[in-house]
Chain A
């Protein structure tokens, strides 16, 4: 019983990293820009959070710092891909390399040390006493609630129930149509890419301030890439993305449980599960029924730079 509660609790905690990163990527891809730099952004966010928290032990500052760094880096990425219309795949890979490398270089000084301040789990009065669910659902750090409840619902509402969201989605589906309708394609793309990058960096901060919680080279371990894959699997919808992240969190925590209980499978092998699982999941949507596929389809103009004045 206790194990299951523990499993659930860890699943939610672990999934939070992916969920936040995936939400950021949803924002970016919904306006038509694929950002493959999530891995690098997470690394940057992670190290920024640690560095700030080491200097002044308040996790909120760490988080805000990470979000800020992510936003600024996102603006640089957007300048290249949206304003200058450089190849999005190459720029994304470049961002991953730069971010991972830079973070590792800076991170040498912080390697292995536990974070000086973290987002610790908070026990919600009464509810956290409930059996099973009490520990799993109501004894989590505050970011978990933001990531799983507030953010996805807010993003879903904005994207699907407001005029702003309609325009946003049009930018990703058919920028020429959006342009002709008077929507500023470049503005939408620029700011949403920056916002998405900010969330990705925030996921890195969550990683080092709430989940692990410490920095080491390679701490991101491909979670950025898994998040990108999750977005595809989730049909580019915020609520689905968070649920998919939860599923992943469960797979990851299964690995932890296995290690803790000395299952006969070696730790590195268990660690392979999330990656193999992602590959399986990414193949699934293709096998889905035609009408479902239509609903989950990528924004039609994803990955294509938009030129208005072109012959």
Chain B
């Protein structure tokens, strides 16, 4: 199950680690991001950096790559102490990072991106020359890229390859990857780790940041766990288990519950679908086809999971399901009524709640007060509005109710909502939506940015809703989460539903295949639940 533990054979005794971090500290206003962290990366190893959201993993790597400056501590590369005032110095020292959000210029071609800020780029350039050089590099390093393609036209997997090529072309010896498989199907992820193995076998090293236990156990040699800004442990992967790692990450035993079981009092499946799509097609913001003949339905009392690598139409799906995006063709039915072409407001009035993917951008108005944000979905009705009048005091009272239910402490309801922490904003939006989700809740990547405790709480909210007879559509990239919660899972690929599988009887392999666009050998479940 775990990768072969790297032996010292091939590494002469006394070789210093490629990178040694000693006592690294980093503070931000009000937050201890890193506290006295030691990290040692040996040549020839794949080293995983594990921790929950907010544990300090990205911060630590940003320090190593010269984006942040440590407030204390040392960076030692190949035995020499170094300080990186900027990314260019880290690159010069042979440290390269592929970030979770790629640092690519979308308007440029692949070739232009590869040659950006690179000393080896000739002073005078032409498109053909750059593309030829890129093609050479790509074949030398065994990475398939299209040199003349504009980055904004590439898929995320392709963009990641460009990023990796860019970093490797600078002769990086330590390759750092931040959540690399977030945008890959399981089979693409396997390909990636195969390439990484090859890379380290030549005496280099890899550090990858992850919060996925499966991946870490399968693909790394050693694991360092961070928690709350501190290093908790460094272990040989062979000595770790799911449970031991989870315990280290969180600090106590956590059991990721299978929440699909129901109490006797829970509502049973509604006889008719509460929300259904019939052959729906829709376009994205650029005018390309995002949804292609999608048919789905979900009933009260069930949780329908939507799996798939981000970027295969999930965003547009969640927008179509909540009335935020018009359909190009097909029909939407909500509560057996034709809702095609209806506005977001009408969907909300029916009882469709929406936890959007990008909380800050679509769910909140950052500069407005906490009160104004909390009442966003209910401001038209009394007590907040009476006739044409808006009543600030009633609004504040409602905001207080929501904040209390969401366990968010708000010092001043008049302050801009962007002053709240990300987690608090999340909880506020979730609670706000749950209040109006009388019939259906559409949740898009709800656990992004939350720690395990908050995720568990949110899962319980969803179960609450389900048991009360609501329908929940859960769009997520965390397969584990989907498998623990969903009664059925629909897998999206390139804007289509590849198949709908039963939550209890499926497994990662099957879902993974569908995510990668390969239809299963089993006949897919019919669109409707039994």
- Output the least CB separation between A240 and chain B (Å): 17
A120–B118 CA distance with the chains assembled, in angstroms: 46
- B residues near A162, Cβ cutoff 8 Å: 123-125
Specify which chain B residues have a CB less than 8 angstroms from the CB of A182 in the assembled complex: 86-88, 91, 117-118
Per-residue 0/1 for A156-178: is the Cβ within 8 Å of any B Cβ (1 yes, 0 no)?
A: 00000111101101100110111
- Name B67's contact: one of A163, A181, A309 (CB within 8 Å): A309
Given A177-B104, A180-B103, A297-B107: A163 and B87 interface contact (C-beta under 8 Å): no
Cross-chain contact A300 with B106 (CB below 8 angstroms): yes
A261 within 8 A of B: no
Residues on B with C-beta less than 8 A from A290 are 287
Contact B87 A181 (CB under 8 A): yes
Given contacts A161-B124, A164-B123, A167-B117, contact A180 B87 (CB under 8 A): yes
Query: B116–A177 contact, CB under 8 A?
Result: yes
A184 cross-chain contacts in B, Cβ below 8 A:
86
Interface bin, chain B: 20 to 34
Q: Contact string, B108-146, partner A, CB cutoff 8 A, digits 1/0?
A: 100011011110011111100000000000000000000
**Interface contact B124-A166, CB-CB below 8 Å:** no
B106 and A166 form a contact (CB under 8 A): no
Q: Do A170 and B126 contact each other (CB < 8 Å), given the known contacts A180-B67, A182-B91?
A: no
Q: Are A178 and B117 closer than 8 Å at their CB atoms?
A: yes
Could you tell me if B115 and A166 are in contact, using CB atoms closer than 8 angstroms? yes
Q: Which of B65, B106, B125, B126 contacts A174 (CB 8 A)?
A: B106
How far, in angstroms, from A290 to B67 measured CA to CA in the complex?
A: 36
Assess the A173–B116 pair: CB atoms within 8 A: no
Q: Mark A253-278, 1 if CB is under 8 A from B, else 0.
A: 00000000000000000000000000
- Give the contacting residue for A173; candidates B107, B117, B118; CB below 8 A: B107
The size of the chain A interface, using a CB distance under 8 A, is 26
Q: Complex formed: what's the CA distance from A176 to B126 in Å?
A: 24
B121 x A163 contact (CB < 8 A): yes
Residues of A within 8 A of B121 (CB): 163, 166
Report the minimal beta-carbon distance from A294 to chain B, rounded to whole angstroms.
8
Contact with B along A168-210 (1 / 0, CB 8 A): 0110011011111111100000000000000000000000000
CB-CB under 8 A from B6, the residues of chain A are none
A300 to B105, CA, bound (A): 9
Assess whether B99 is in contact with A163, with CB atoms less than 8 Å apart. no
Is B413's beta carbon under 8 Å from chain A?
no
Whether A170 lies near B117 (C-beta < 8 A) is yes
A163 in contact with B115 (CB, 8 Å):
yes
Per-residue CB contact flags for chain A residues 276-311 toward chain B (1 = under 8 Å, else 0) read 000000000000001000100100100000001101
Interface residues of B in 28-76 (CB under 8 A from A): 28, 31, 65, 67-69
Q: Which of A161, A180, A183 has the most chain B CB atoms inside 10 A of its CB?
A: A180
Residue of B nearest to A310 (CB): B28
B67 cross-chain contacts in A, Cβ below 8 A: 179-180, 308-309
Overall SS of chain A's interface: helix
Question: By the criterion CB–CB under 8 Å, are B68 and A309 in contact?
Answer: yes
Q: Which residues of A contact B115 (CB under 8 A)?
A: 163, 166
For A160, the closest partner residue in chain B by CB is B125
Nearest-neighbour CB distance to chain A for B96, whole angstroms, equals: 10
B116 touches A178 (CB 8 A): yes
Q: Do residues A181 and B116 form an inter-chain contact, with CB atoms below 8 A? A: yes
Among B87, B104, B105, the most chain A Cβ lie within 10 Å of the Cβ of: B105
Report how far A180 CA is from B61 CA in the complex, Å: 13
Q: Which residues of A contact B69 (CB under 8 A)?
A: 309
Q: Is the CB of A181 within 8 A of B68?
A: no
User: How far is A170 from B124 in the complex, measured between Cα atoms in Å?
Assistant: 16
- Rounded to whole angstroms, the CA-CA distance of A143 and B126 in the bound complex is 30
A181 contacts across to B, CB distance below 8 A: 87-88, 103, 116-118, 166
CB-based contact B125/A161 at 8 Å:
yes
Alpha-carbon distance A178/B105, docked complex (angstroms): 8
> In the bound complex, how far is the Cα of B69 from the Cα of A166, in angstroms?
27
Are A161 and B126 interface neighbours, CB within 8 A?
yes
Which single member of A163, A183, A300, A311 contacts B107 (CB below 8 Å)? A300
Q: Closest CB-CB distance, A24 to chain B, in whole Å?
A: 22
- Known contacts A163-B115, A166-B115, A182-B117, A174 near B104 by CB under 8 Å: yes
> Is B105's CB under 8 angstroms from A174's CB?
yes
Bound CA span A177–B69, Å: 18
Shortest CB–CB separation between residue B101 and chain A, in angstroms? 8
Cα distance, A29 to B24, chains bound together (Å): 39
| B105 CB contacts on chain A under 8 angstroms | 169-170, 173-174, 177-178, 300
What's the minimum C-beta distance from B71 to chain A, rounded to whole angstroms?
A: 12
The 8 Å CB contact of A177, one of B65, B88, B103, B118, is B103
**B116 neighbours in A (Cβ, 8 Å):** 166-167, 170, 177-178, 181, 183
Task: List B contacts of A180 (CB < 8 A).
Answer: 65, 67, 87, 97, 99, 103
Q: How far is the CA of A167 from the CA of B97 in the complex (A)?
A: 19
Q: Which among A166, A177, A290 has the highest number of chain B CB atoms within 10 Å? A: A177
How many angstroms between the C-alpha atoms of A166 and B88 in the bound complex? Answer: 17
Interchain CA distance A170-B105 in the complex, whole Å: 7
The complex places the Cα of A14 from the Cα of B155 at a distance, in Å, of 48
Residues of chain A with a CB closer than 8 A to B287's CB: 290
Complex: chain B residue closest to A182, CB-CB: B88
Write out the residue numbers on chain B whose beta carbons fall within 8 Å of the beta carbon of A170: 105, 108, 116-117
**Which of B28, B99, B112 meets A166, CB within 8 Å?**
B112
Instruction: Give a binary string over B160-197; 1 marks a CB under 8 Å from any A CB, 0 the rest.
Output: 00000010000000000000000000000000000000
Contacting residues of chain B (83-102) with chain A, CB-CB under 8 angstroms: 86-88, 91, 97, 99, 102
> In whole Å, how far is A68's beta carbon from the nearest beta carbon of chain B?
29
Report how far A166 CA is from B125 CA in the complex, Å: 9
Residues from chain B with Cβ under 8 Å of A173 in the complex:
105-108
Judging by beta carbons under 8 Å apart, are A163 and B122 in contact? Answer: yes
A176 touches B125 (CB 8 A): no
Distance in Å: Cβ of B394 to nearest Cβ of chain A: 35
Query: Closest approach, in angstroms, between the C-beta of A138 and any C-beta of chain B?
Result: 32
Chain B residues positioned under 8 Å from A166 (CB to CB): 108, 112, 115-116, 121, 125
Show 22 residue pairs from A and B whose CB-CB distance is below 8 angstroms, ordered by the A residue: A161-B124, A161-B126, A162-B124, A166-B121, A167-B116, A169-B108, A170-B116, A173-B105, A173-B106, A174-B103, A174-B105, A176-B103, A177-B102, A179-B67, A181-B87, A182-B88, A182-B91, A182-B117, A182-B118, A294-B107, A309-B68, A309-B69
Listed from nearest, the 9 A-B pairs whose CB atoms lie closest are A182-B88, A181-B117, A177-B103, A180-B103, A183-B117, A182-B117, A181-B116, A163-B121, A174-B105
Interface residues of B (CB under 8 A from A): 28, 31, 65, 67-69, 86-88, 91, 97, 99, 102-108, 112-113, 115-118, 121-126, 166, 287
Known contacts A161-B125, A162-B124, A174-B106; 14 additional CB pairs below 8 A are A166-B116, A166-B121, A166-B125, A169-B105, A174-B104, A177-B113, A178-B116, A178-B117, A179-B87, A180-B65, A183-B117, A300-B105, A309-B68, A309-B69
